[in-house]
Structure 1
Amino acid sequence: MQTKVDVAVMIGTGVPASLRALGQNVCWVVLLNGERRGTAFSSREEAQECKAAWLAQLNADIPDSLH
């Protein structure tokens, strides 16, 4: 099964209260097969780094014969 890892943006009331309290009206989250994983990030770059970590972990879990 192919696993899909994406970065999505959340705006307004979708932003966690802790970030809204800091004046942040937008955040980014990592989705694994459409489901949110982990925390909300205050920058897209942080979310992209998390996405890369997920992809590296998923690739490490695949046997070398299937790469």
Structure 2
Amino acid sequence: MQSKVDVAVMIGSAVPSNLRAMGQSVCWVVLLNGERRGTAFASRNEAQECKAAWLAQLSAAQQGSLH
């Protein structure tokens, strides 16, 4: 099964309270097959790095299952 990894933006009241307390009104999250994985990120770049790590992990797991 092919997994889908996305980065989604959350705005306003959807932003976790700890980030709102720091003045953030927007954050980014990583979705794996439509389900949130891990924490909310204050920057899109951080979320993109997490996405890349998920893709690498999934690729390695897939490669391992082929051998």
Do both share a fold (TM > 0.5)? Answer: yes
Instruction: From the two aligned structures, give the one with the greater helix fraction.
Output: 2
Is 1:32 the counterpart of 2:32 in the alignment?
yes
Matches within 5 A, 1:4-15: 4-15=4-15
- 2:21 maps to 21
AA partner of residue 36 (structure 2): R
Partners of 1:20 and 1:64 in 2: CA distance: 41
Unaligned stretches of 5+ residues in structure 1: none
Q: Deviations over 1:25-48 (max 9, x none)?
A: 000000000000000000000000
- List gaps (5 residues or longer) in structure 2: none
Give structure 1 regions of 4+ aligned residues with deviation exceeding 4 angstroms: none
Percent identity over the alignment? 79
Which residue of structure 2 aligns with residue 3 of structure 1?
Answer: 3
